[in-house]
């Protein structure tokens, strides 16, 4: 039950670039690498352990063999042996498609999947880089459909200029897109269900327009104007700063200047640390693992004391 690291699962994307390699040290082999899946239980994309005695085993094999010790009693009761979170780093060299994700009810009915609530932490952003998050006014379904027909959807969208350290919470149904020049960490429900509604009329390497999900999206979109997406959080050093507490995950921000011990005796969940700056040795009673910027580690739920040894690190701490 030592702190467990996994091999990244690298994904080519039409909009991807090279920053996952240049900035985060991922072993990319393509100049359009858009995503590094750090921790995944998604079918056909299950993470494989990279350190310690379990090296070579899959996340699912560990869960099947040690469900309560790894996930925690309450997580098993709620999700069974399915890992409930998907962790990624994303490099957008170009704008991503404008998209949204269905809620649990729709995703279960249509795809036998979880919905996709997610959050973003901006690790780097080129000057004037933006996100699209929601609409800039209340929009009716009819007005939305007309904007697709008239190619004026972009006029209805809300644009947010971003910089390092900004964080955003994306509810299901909220229309959104990551803009060119953004490198971010993403925490989300385990789901790969995306409804793409506009793709800037781009074509893939074979000259084809990518599939849109216009009809599926109509019943899934939140047409309201809601300023509920920018996460206001403290960045006080050497303490746990709460960011998100939603039904699907809890995320804290830690900026440590020296060692810290975390008592997790009341936590019935695994703990994930995503390193977004610096480096740290994460240790428990069973072993330790070092992570640097762009790496992720999972501490099994059986751990009740977590030791963080560092001279300087920025971490996203994720639990259920």
Active-site amino acid positions:
196
DSSP 89: E
Query: Which residues fall within 8 angstroms of residue 227, CB to CB, at 6 or more apart?
Result: none
Choose among 63, 180, 52: nearest CA to 124.
Answer: 180
The answer to the question of whether 143 is labelled as a binding residue is no
The answer to the question of whether 176 is labelled as a binding residue is yes
Choose among 262, 267, 264, 260: nearest CA to 313.
Answer: 260
| Cα–Cα distances in angstroms (integers) from residue 147 to residues 157, 173, 224, 289, in the given order | 11, 18, 16, 51
CB 16 within 8 A of CB 30: yes
Would you mind telling me the total number of residues written for the chain in this entry? 320
Q: What is the largest CA-CA distance in the chain?
A: 61
The sign of the dihedral angle between the CA atoms of 208, 213, 215, 221 is negative
The answer to the question of whether 213 is labelled as a binding residue is no
The C-alpha atoms of residue 218 and residue 310 are separated, in whole angstroms, by 48
CB 197 within 8 A of CB 135: no
- The first and second tokens of residue 52, run together, are 């310690």
Report the C-alpha dihedral over residues 207, 214, 159, 88, rounded to 10 degrees. -70
Q: What phi and psi values does residue 97 have, to the nearest 5 degrees?
A: -65, 155
- The first and second tokens of residue 150, run together, are 């008239």
Residues tagged in the binding site annotation for Zn(2+) = 101, 118, 176
Residues tagged in the binding site annotation = 101, 118, 176
């Amino acid at each position: 039950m030592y702190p467990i690291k996994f091999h990244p699962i690298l994904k080519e994307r039409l909009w991807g670039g090279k920053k996952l390699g240049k900035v985060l040290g991922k072993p990319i082999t393509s100049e359009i690498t858009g995503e590094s899946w750090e921790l995944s239980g998604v079918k056909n994309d299950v993470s494989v352990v990279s350190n310690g005695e379990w090296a070579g085993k899959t996340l699912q094999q560990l869960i099947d063999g040690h469900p309560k010790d790894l996930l925690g009693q309450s997580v098993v009761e709620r999700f069974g042996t399915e890992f409930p979170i998907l962790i990624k780093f994303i490099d957008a060299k170009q704008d991503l498609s404008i998209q949204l994700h269905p809620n649990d009810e729709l995703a279960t009915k249509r795809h036998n999947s979880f919905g996709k609530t997610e959050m973003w932490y901006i690790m780097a952003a080129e000057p004037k880089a933006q996100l699209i998050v929601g609409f800039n006014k209340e929009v009716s379904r009819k007005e939305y459909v007309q904007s697709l027909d008239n190619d004026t959807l972009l006029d209805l969208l809300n644009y947010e200029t971003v910089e390092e350290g900004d964080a955003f919470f994306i509810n299901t149904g909220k229309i959104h897109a990551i803009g060119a020049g953004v490198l971010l960490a993403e925490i989300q429900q385990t789901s790969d269900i995306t409804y793409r509604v506009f793709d800037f009329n781009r074509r893939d390497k074979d000259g084809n327009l990518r599939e849109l999900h216009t009809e599926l999206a109509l019943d899934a979109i939140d047409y309201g104007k809601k300023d509920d997406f920018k996460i206001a959080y403290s960045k006080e050093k050497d303490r746990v700063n709460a960011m998100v507490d939603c039904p699907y995950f809890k995320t804290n921000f830690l900026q440590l200047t020296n060692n810290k011990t975390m008592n997790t005796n009341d936590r019935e969940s695994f703990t994930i640390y995503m390193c977004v700056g610096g480096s740290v040795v994460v240790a428990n009673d069973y072993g330790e693992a070092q992570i640097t910027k762009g790496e992720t580690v999972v501490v099994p739920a059986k751990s009740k004391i977590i030791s963080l040894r560092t001279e300087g690190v920025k971490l996203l701490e994720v639990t259920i």
